[in-house]
Amino acid sequence: MKMQQCIDASTDQAMQGHGGAAAGNDCSKRDVQKSGSTMTVDSVCTVAGKAVTSHIVVNGSFDSEYTMNIMSQGAGGPGGQSGVTLKARWIGPCAADQKPGDMIMPNGMKMNILNMPKGRGQPRTAGAPANR
């Protein structure tokens, strides 16, 4: 699924507070390691009363293009493990009719990520408003 999102430094900061492996949850571990263009985040959190272990690997540059692989394993879930890959790239400045946080969904619907419930956002690149 492809989406386009307008991000600025303020929106990025707010989304990091809403999203990410440890945001808004009771986490006993959140280990972030960076080596070159690779960042790895390992966390153990309690979400809705259940333990969830996450391993996230980000390769690339948040300023231009990156790939994020997320593996989560939680107690009580079907199969207990799930994974997702997110690919993002900077495609230029936000359009004149967009404001920071706006997402354009594949069906053309526009919504603002900052209006979503806590825990639904994804971390994004800081800097001038940009489309991804």
In this prediction, residue 42 carries a pLDDT of 94
Q: Encoding tokens for residue 6? A: 């307008």
* 119: Cα within 13 Å, side-chain hemisphere: 8
Closest to 2 measured CA to CA, from 89, 121, 71 = 89
Closest to 18 measured CA to CA, from 82, 129, 83, 114 = 114
Q: What domain range is 104 assigned to?
A: 4-131
Predicted structure pTM score: 0.68
130-131/65-74 β-pairing: unpaired
In this prediction, residue 40 carries a pLDDT of 95
The total number of structural domains in the chain stands at 1
In this prediction, residue 35 carries a pLDDT of 95
**Contact present, 8 and 119 (Cβ < 8 Å):** no
CA distance 109 to 82: 27
In this prediction, residue 2 carries a pLDDT of 87
In this prediction, residue 125 carries a pLDDT of 38
Per-residue model confidence as pLDDT tens for the chain (132 residues): 888 889 888 887 776 654 444 444 588 998 999 999 999 999 998 888 888 899 999 999 988 999 999 999 886 555 566 889 999 999 999 988 899 989 999 998 999 988 876 544 433 333 445 555
DSSP result, 63-132 = TTEEEEEEEEEETTSSSSEEEEEEEEE--EEPPTT--TTEEE-TTS-EEEGGGSPTT-------SS-EE-
CA distance 129 to 94: 6
In this prediction, residue 8 carries a pLDDT of 85
In this prediction, residue 130 carries a pLDDT of 55
